[in-house]
Amino acid sequence: MIFTSALYVNHIDHCDYVVLNLSCPNVNDTSKIWNDLSIYCSSNKRQWCIAKVSPLILPEQLEYLIENLGFNQIHLCNTLPIDERGGISGPILKPYVFKLIKLIRDRWGDDLELIAGGGIQKIEDVNDYLSAGANHISL
């Protein structure tokens, strides 16, 4: 749930680390979340402001997050939406994560911190994500 009242924003402003789930498949209208992003990532005190994105994120949306809002930590990926019932995760995410790691590294280089997750079941999966360009792993 995203809160935009001054009370919550002021509290969040003092947090060192924030993860913003921009792709929860159970949220019907994500436009409000995207419209309010600058509120949450504007603190100069914050070491980490992570955008957790959908496996279906568009390059234009990544560009907005990285170039317009200044996100430099991206979590790849949240669940894959299915119908109106939520989403699925696990090994089905791996091709999406690899594609997004490549896209981000090709376009923005190594300056961004990438957190890869989805489908990690053994150490080889961790090694594959790290070899592809992820900096961190999410389990």
Task: Quick: pLDDT tens for 40-58.
Answer: 666 565 567 788 999 999 9
Sequence-ordered list of residues with C-beta below 8 angstroms from that of 100, at least 6 positions apart, any chain: 53, 55, 57, 62, 76, 77
With a cut of 90, say whether residue 69 has pLDDT above it. Answer: no
Residue 129: pLDDT band (50, 70, 90) is very high
Cα-based distances in Å from 113 to 23, 48, 71, 103, 134: 19, 10, 9, 14, 7
3-state SS, residue 19: strand
Could you tell me the pTM of the whole model? 0.82
Are 52 and 25 a contacting pair, CB within 8 Å?
no
Q: Evaluate if residue 84 carries a pLDDT over 80.
A: no
* CA dist., res. 88 & res. 118, Å (int): 10
Instruction: Give pLDDT, residue 115.
Output: 96
